[in-house]
Amino acid sequence: MINYAMNKEEAQLVKMQFLDGTSFGSPPDHNSVYEQMRLQQETSNKKCKKPFFRIEVCPPTEKTKDWTLANWQNFCDEALEELAKQNIDLRNTQIICLLHLDSGKPHLHIIANRIDMNGRIINDWQCQNRGRSAADSIARNHGWKIASQIRDAINPDIKTIIRQDAMSVLDGMEVFDIRKFFDAMRERGYFINDKWSSEGKCVGYSIGKNEEEMFKSSSLAGRDLVPSRIGDTWHKLHNPEPLSELANAHEQENLQEMVPHEYTTDDGYYSSISIPKDLEDVLNDEIKVPCEIFDDNDLSRDEEWEDELADHEMVMTKAIKAFVALAVPSDMGSTSGGGGGVQGELSRWDGLPSERKDEYIDWARRAARDASTACEPKKKRRAHANRR
């Protein structure tokens, strides 16, 4: 990582922070930078599986053609400020920033130590999403297009391409195995972030041609590539014969499969709601699970963090509760049993108008985000002795 950033042809030093090196504009030796960062990590007595941040910042080429090295330094400082606003504060840690020009698209590479100068680990929870938000803020500050607008303009059919490749892989599989499906897609150059329950069941995944632009399986056209349906999709590709009336009836019944979920109300009572499999897939795709994303070693030092990391089931329970709060009006009463109210409407999922389904899906996505935020690791408050 450091070697690549510093030894790339025509690399120019833009910024160094808390590092010893040579003069501005000329990079120091990459081994020296690595050893200085490693020494900081060792003296802190903190360990983390991912000890560095690697950040790439690429402004529009046409906007930077007249930039000087000083302009790039100011741009680096702006990027660090926007990252700090997203709770990735790198202003008190070792940093080296280099400008790469060889690709024809000038861009910055920022390498930062996750152990800051106070010996504390910098939180990398949802760092990709927060980094993307910082990049969007920079673009808006300058009146540039944000990343999603550029991506859609360049290739609006990327999801179609992903789907075509996925169907091709499924068609070539003699026996369906979702792990082998993931391996085959990776061989085609795709990145995949898969999520699994404690029972070893795949509950969601994101896929993309690069790690910065990933698409959740529930957002792909047709929704037949989500974990709960992809096996059936494979079966249909390999068994195209017309189904019997009985099989058709069974398939129609499966389209409306309702999945029960329990949760605890604010009053401490147990309640339940059954939701369509479609909505469960959205929740599974959208929730962020701390024990899968956050580095557990970051949370085990000095008792700085509250409780244990939430697992998938804990986050899902909170998401269900948040979904009920959004989808069930207060005058509708309990959602358990009876089949009335929203429960009755959800049971007729396949017959609902598309705009009504979209409304429930939006609520599910919002509920998943709220639950993920609520389950983020939190630092303990330190008690201070009263002074007289």
pLDDT tens-digit map of 164-178 = 999 999 999 999 999
Q: Is residue 382 one of the residues assigned to a domain?
A: no
Residues 360 and 234 in one domain: no
Q: Is residue 78 one of the residues assigned to a domain?
A: yes
Residues 230 and 300 in one domain: no
Q: Sign (positive/negative) of CA torsion 114, 116, 118, 123?
A: negative
pLDDT tens sequence across 86-105 = 989 999 999 999 999 877 78
Q: Is residue 246 one of the residues assigned to a domain?
A: no
Residues 125 and 203 in one domain: no
pLDDT tens sequence across 217-239 = 887 877 789 998 899 899 889 88
Residues 29 and 136 in one domain: yes
Residues 82 and 186 in one domain: no
Boundary residue ending a domain (210, 241, 272): 241
> What percent of the chain lies above the pLDDT cut of 90?
34
Residues 31 and 140 in one domain: yes
Residues 65 and 183 in one domain: no
Q: Is residue 379 one of the residues assigned to a domain?
A: no
What is the pLDDT confidence band of residue 59, given thresholds at 50, 70 and 90?
very high
Residues 135 and 182 in one domain: no
Q: Which residues constitute the domain of residue 323?
A: 257-374
Contact in structure between 111 and 1 (CB atoms under 8 Å): yes
* Beta carbons within 10 angstroms of residue 191's beta carbon: 15
Residues 50 and 183 in one domain: no
Nearest CA-CA partner of 294 in 49, 99, 63: 49
pLDDT tens sequence across 322-365 = 998 888 654 333 444 444 456 667 777 777 787 888 888 889 98
Q: What's the domain count of the chain?
A: 3
Backbone angles phi, psi at 200, to 5 degrees: 85, 20
Residues 76 and 129 in one domain: yes
pTM of the model: 0.51
Residues 288 and 316 in one domain: yes
Distance CA 180, CA 158 (A): 22
Boundary residue ending a domain (153, 183, 213): 153
Distance CA 324, CA 183 (A): 37
The whole-number pLDDT of residue 350 equals: 72
pLDDT tens sequence across 108-123 = 999 999 999 999 999 8
Any idea which of 18-22, 133-137, 149-153, 329-333 has the lowest mean pLDDT? Answer: 329-333
Which CATH number covers residue 97? 3.30.930
Residue 314 has pLDDT above 60, yes or no: yes
The 3-state secondary structure of the chain reads CHHHHHHCCCCEEEEEECCCCCCCCCCCCHHHHHHHHHHHHHHHCCCCCCCEEEEEECCCHHHCCCCCHHHHHHHHHHHHHHHHHCCCCCCCCCEEEEEECCCCCCEEEEEEECECCCCCECCCCCHHHHHHHHHHHHHHHHCCCCHHHHHHHHCCCHHHHHHHHHHHHHHCCCCCCHHHHHHHHHHCCCEEEEEECCCCCEEEEEEEEECCEEEEHHHCCCCCCCHHHHHHHHHHHHCCCCCCHHHHHHHHHHHCCEEEEEEECCCCCEEEEEEEHHHHHHHHHHCCCHHHHCCHHHHCCCCCECCCCCCHHHHHHHHHHHHHHHHCCHHHCCCCCCCCHHHHHHHCHHHCCHHHHHHHHHHHHHHHHHHHHHCCCCECCCCCCCCC
What is the pLDDT confidence band of residue 57, given thresholds at 50, 70 and 90?
very high
Boundary residue ending a domain (189, 208, 241): 241
The whole-number pLDDT of residue 241 equals: 57
Distance CA 126, CA 87 (A): 10
